[in-house]
Structure 1
């Protein structure tokens, strides 16, 4: 287990930080041309529970169980079914994350993360989004580079991806200006155009401006007169 420290959303008088503990359930290792999943949690490694519902119904008809026992057994079956479902879901989650975030797992560079939502994964594997959310809550994996990261980090939002691409455009801008290939910094409309042409991302100029401000990148006018 490990923890991350995060500042509380509402500042307290002593400005304490909140520790969020994560349980590392699996490691992903690179072997030749593929990634291998190694489970670190004993509960996940164990096989699924097999429930013979037909046999249970037969015994019920023969009055082998008392009514109070039946009332206790039914909730137990429901719990076992949920455990089975979560074990299968965890495998499906990690397997699909390996496919989508392959480049990130190769490099360990967070700039290589691709847009992926829990909702899109839930449709793909045919489960309720809430089940995925519960399955990865405070769960982490160890990536090939040896770092432990929360699984939820591998589900970046559209906004996070847009910010990453805008950051790349600004870095490219600096390089082109230094080489003399570009005479002035890109304005938000020009950044918007690059996102559309290069990445097929259609967003408003205002959205570009908001992402740029989140990244603490000055406007094109301010960048013109930097240094």
Structure 2
């Protein structure tokens, strides 16, 4: 059985740890990927995110729900990805593929130098990632929606660099980008954007990639417009796709 600290904190996630999930967590724990779950960071409709200890540092454990996930929505989305065209419409297979795709997309992006959490381990519906923030204290970087950058224009330019690198080097489009899944990592040299939540990420060669990119840009510009930047969506898309 997976060790949990402060059991009372987990009343809000009652039912998440079914026997299947517990086995997956126990196996990852036994392999030394983490020691124990410490506290929930985010409780979502499809997945819950936990802070976990791992030796003298902390990592992130993301657990996808088996029963409550919208697997039909996942299926319709993932079928657009050429890597999963042969996927059958079976709940567990879809959810496992969804989590696997997030792991693969993170790994592919990380290897190409995109600023993302390093994926550390995967077991069916459980994904373990590097913590973005202070991995010694366990303090996590906040999403952009909760932590506006000091220099908005500089932050935006750094973000465009990351999206270009992701598009051209990794061959990926995020597909669900917004101020909710861009972390603002506070560093001595300034704020840095870190991209997270890669389960909806798809290949550039996918038929849907351009429309997904346009949607990503539209979402981003809604946020940056509120921060005082005047930007044209078509020009931003062109900057990203131009070699």
TM-score range, shorter chain: under 0.3
Q: TM-score w.r.t. structure 2 length?
A: 0.22
Instruction: Flag the structure with higher strand content.
Output: 2
